[in-house]
Structure 1
Amino acid sequence: MLSNGEKVEYARRLNSVLDYVDQHLDTSLELDKLAEVAHFSRFHFHRIFAAWMGETLGDYARRRRLETAAWRLSCDRQASVLDIALACGFASGEAFARAFKLRFDCTPSQWRAGSDERRLAQVRAGYENRARHDSNLSQVLSNSDQVNVNGICEDGGSYQPRRKYLMEVNIVQLPAVRVAYQRYIGPYGPGVTEFWRSKVTPWMQVHGLQDQVCYGIGYDDPSVTAADKCRYDACVTITEGFAPGAHANVKTLPGGAYAVAQFNGPATAVNDAWMELMREYLPASGMQCDDRPCFEQFSANSALDLQTGIFSCLLCIPVKAL
């Protein structure tokens, strides 16, 4: 039986492996190299990974290749299906097409053709989920009895925008930023709220990071990835020499061009704003998403007005020209 300290260390090492896999999908992902990244012996690593993740290393790599390819098909309309297949580690277009059809029950081209409809459905589903639960970001440094957040959909009905946010959107060149992150794996929603409250915020306070800029990054599409395998990173900006200890990993969020909008409103209505950006701004902008993650950027100690329930953050969409 592992102690709590051992569990934390295992999670830190295995999260490094997950990051390495995502960054090297176009390579062969040799077992020896991944065991080295995790600092486990080759003999034990495969069994440790399978026990921790609930799937074998081979199954995980295959799933991530297909899910990443699905995302790129949706976001990069200019890249050919073959280019995406090769970038995700498939040896040929034929091998990719067979694996994609088996996983998603459609061809890569059919998947690409339905991208806009799927994206809106995903944002709508996220809105409905958030309408039923507290916002994952609204309670980072607050208790549930401190805030009266307006705008919750009591009947859990279909998406009905309360108002148009009419946010000003600017294309901004954001710098790369070094962050410490803790990873939550599981269904998006209340579990992420509890993760910020019970794990991330206390760690930030211990390390004097409560005044730093934070980022919330959901990497997976719940309509594609099983809920218990969705990944969310709670990130906080750190300096170059900062040592995060055993509870967090360090990485660099990519810089580049982002469509950035300031959101100010009820925390439960953030998905309204995302819907507006995806449905109205992006198609008319001459831009498209690329395969960097979208994120919400905020300051943990000032993002939420405890008196009004107004939440303030930047919604950041990585973009490139059509």
Structure 2
Amino acid sequence: MARLSGPFIPAIEDTAARRLRVVGAADAAMARPTITVLHVGDTPEDTFLIGRLVGALPSFSATFIAAGTREAALSALSRQPCDVVLCEFWMAGRTTMALIDEIKAVADVPVILISALDNDDIELIGRRAGTDGLLTKSDLAVAPLDRVFSTLLQRRPAPRHDAASMLRALMANLYAAGLALRPERDGEPAADRKAGRAALVRSIADLEAASRFGASVQRFDAIPFFVDAVKKQNLRAEARGAVNFLAPSLPLPIETSPTLYADLVEGFLAEAGDAAAAGGVATVSLRAASGRLVATVRPLGGETIAGDGEARAAAAERRLLIEGLARACGGTLAFSADDGHVLAVPLRLSHPI
């Protein structure tokens, strides 16, 4: 069971005496903004410590509300407006992506994802699901929370109604279906599960593709994105393993949305980073063939999927997400333990795949 880690928070005997005093230009005390913070999580120890952190925020006078179940969280939001929601990524043996979608549907409130995991999967999934920030449990302390709250609440923008914001809401709604990660049902044919997953991937792709109208399609060199992603994965490995990549010497122009493409490349190379971090070696190759960019990842050694249930769920959602991103860019993605993982994306959007 995950436990909150970080600096010890001592008991505060005299809150008024130890509270930070904010003063203005005339040295007159300024009232701290009053906010309501909802924490959604089912581990009592984490809830208690996060409540202590929120109560010690120097820049805000905070009311702390705890919800240990989906029903309690939605009920709390219906009874009392909240200024920010801290939502655990892992609750009751599953991810909370569907719950975050419900929270966003009933309240215009920023949601900060909290996870014991510190990897690329959580960052990518949270960003594409429309969360407003990510905090790992190892980084939870008064100062980071105060800084994140100040950034989010200082100047909240008016709700946007462009294609990108609509996409985020619709993307999050797909997680509510739970088709990809639901437990196997007795007697359910494997073909039905495969068809359900394919339908969900197509839905993600359709929604992502729709965002291209507001995602600024551009023509750019595809190679630097792979160079940067490989560097990031090698930093994750910390010399335990390596991700090998020989970048082509000539530019490889591609026409697509840089935003979608960047997330696609980062997610596609995440399993190479998993293998390297576990002491293995992964080889990444890149070529142009028949009007397509073809990237291949071959991991050798190392556990590419961690054994922890939360990490496995995050890795499964990552695969589902990058399949949708590949389709949104007009391409295909195949995972194979024997032949490696292969991503094929058209160099031009008008080129049939």
TM-score (norm 1): 0.28
TM-score (norm 2): 0.27
Larger Rg: 2
Give the number of the structure with larger relative contact order, counting CA–CA contacts within 8 Å between residues 6 or more apart.
1
